[in-house]
Amino acid sequence: MDNPALNSLASDVRGLDTLRRAARDNSPEALKAAAKQFEAMFLQVVIKSMREASHGDELFGGQEGKMFQDMLDQQWAQVMTEGGGTGLARVLERQLSANARSADTSITPPLKPLSESGLFQGLPQMPAAARSAALRQSLQAGTASAEDIEAAIAELTPPRGRDVPEHARAFVERVWPAALSASRATGIPAQFLVAQAALETGWGRAELSAADGSPSHNLFNIKAGSSWQGDTVTVTASEYVDGRWVKQPDAFRRYGSYEESFADYARLLKSQPRYAPVLGAQDAGSFARGLQQAGYATDPAYADKLQRIINGPLLRAALSG
């Protein structure tokens, strides 16, 4: 490419404005440049994350040193995209080109400041491993949009300094994809569903199991009932009856996977009229209280416990990857 304006760094506001104007005309040159800038931004974040994971550099300490180090990282990222780069730019260019052919370029999408994004509001994000895996899958399938790619790059560096127990991190990583599917079916945020599964199973460490120790994959402790035609496990569970806790055996549903568990839970919420107020709930209080008022659990403190997990630091840290 021989257009210096389109080759400017991604952090150069004038360069980005030039790219935006050219992209409105579906310029192949602009799309190629935008793809390379996305790749450079991605590489810069990766380099920065690797550097922050090291023990530090006593020689180049202080704010001035950090500023020059960031400039060097930016330049390295730009250099690494030259030539063939990592191959990411070529994939992005193909996807951007496909989107451009079907997009209505007469409409300029509204831009929001970074301060309004979920990352800066402390809202739970997709776990890092699940996020990167989802991006890879969407790129390979050719379904990733420019917004998907930009959001993934922005979220690559999770908050640091949080001590997350390994069992909690592993639990969230394991169930997150299934929670996303159930979220799309119910309109309930995926982190709310993960929090409820964590409450019901003690973050995966108290999952119902059969007599031989095999797992039930029942993350929401849904009882079998007379209408259930699938496998079951019989477990002695605690129920709050007439003001006191009692233990009694009961049959619970058994699934072949966590995906089946989340899918069946979504069907339960959608099929029972009493759970109608819960569907689409977007705040922790409404979701937790709605479940308790609908009689989901006999524990009188169920809503409070669930809300504490949703708003608690452990879930937020585990979701941050």
- In tens, the pLDDT along 100-157 reads 555 554 544 454 443 343 433 444 445 554 555 555 555 445 454 544 554 444 444 3
pLDDT, tens digit (0-9, with 9 covering 90-100), for 55-64: 444 444 555 5
Residue 129 lies in a domain: no
Identify whether residues 77 and 176 lie together within a single domain.
Answer: no
In angstroms, rounded to a whole number, what is the distance separating the alpha carbons of residues 275 and 258? 22
Mean pLDDT of the chain: 74
Catalytic, out of 57, 147, 231, 239? 239
Residue 309 lies in a domain: yes
Mean pLDDT value across residues 5-20: 49
Residue 136 lies in a domain: no
**pTM passes above 0.75:** no
What's the confidence (pLDDT) of residue 60?
47
pLDDT, tens digit (0-9, with 9 covering 90-100), for 265-275: 999 999 999 99
Q: Find the radius of gyration of the CA atoms of the chain.
A: 24
Under a CB-based contact definition with an 8 Å cutoff, are residues 206 and 218 in contact?
no
264 is catalytic: yes
What's the confidence (pLDDT) of residue 111?
45
Identify whether residues 106 and 178 lie together within a single domain.
Answer: no
Residue 145 lies in a domain: no
* Among 59, 154, 80, residue whose Cα is nearest residue 72: 80
Helix (H, G, I), strand (E, B) or coil at 3: coil
What's the confidence (pLDDT) of residue 78?
66
Share of the chain above pLDDT 90, in %: 41
pLDDT, tens digit (0-9, with 9 covering 90-100), for 194-235: 999 999 999 999 999 998 999 999 999 999 988 899 999 999
Partners of 249 in the beta sheet? 236
Catalytic, out of 39, 155, 207, 264? 264
Q: Give the chain's domain count.
A: 2
Helix (H) or strand (E) holding 253: strand 244-253
In angstroms, rounded to a whole number, what is the distance separating the alpha carbons of residues 305 and 107? 46
Supply the range of the domain harboring residue 48: 13-116
In angstroms, rounded to a whole number, what is the distance separating the alpha carbons of residues 226 and 251? 10
239 is catalytic: yes
Helix (H, G, I), strand (E, B) or coil at 118: coil
Residue 71 lies in a domain: yes
In angstroms, rounded to a whole number, what is the distance separating the alpha carbons of residues 65 and 68? 5
In angstroms, rounded to a whole number, what is the distance separating the alpha carbons of residues 104 and 53? 42
Give burial (CB, 10 Å; 0-12/13-18/19+) of 259. middle
What's the confidence (pLDDT) of residue 157?
38
Residue 128 lies in a domain: no
